[in-house]
Amino acid sequence: MIKHIHTHTRTYTHMHTLTVCMQISKKKLIVIVTVVIVYCSFLTKKNKQK
């Protein structure tokens, strides 16, 4: 019985870690996309100034 609970806890911890990792990667993705958009708009502004 205790062994079963232990395995369950381990599985839960693994799932939790996975979720946290996904959230972090989502945040990173949003940051990367934002940076790319800002960079692109900066480039187009520079091109228009010429």
pTM of the predicted protein model: 0.51
pLDDT of residue 1: 58
Q: What angle do CA 12, 28, 21 make, to 5 degrees?
A: 10
**Secondary structure class of 2 (helix, strand, coil):** helix
pLDDT of residue 13: 85
- Taking the C-alpha atoms of residue 30 and residue 28, their distance in angstroms, rounded to an integer, is 5
Q: What is the pLDDT along the chain (50 residues), one digit of tens a residue?
A: 567 777 778 888 888 888 888 898 999 999 999 999 999 999 998 888 76
The domain containing residue 7 runs over which residues?
1-50
- DSSP string for residues in 7-47: HHHHHHHHHHHHHHHHHHHHHHHHHHHHHHHHHHHHHHHHH
**Domains: count for the chain:** 1
pLDDT of residue 7: 78
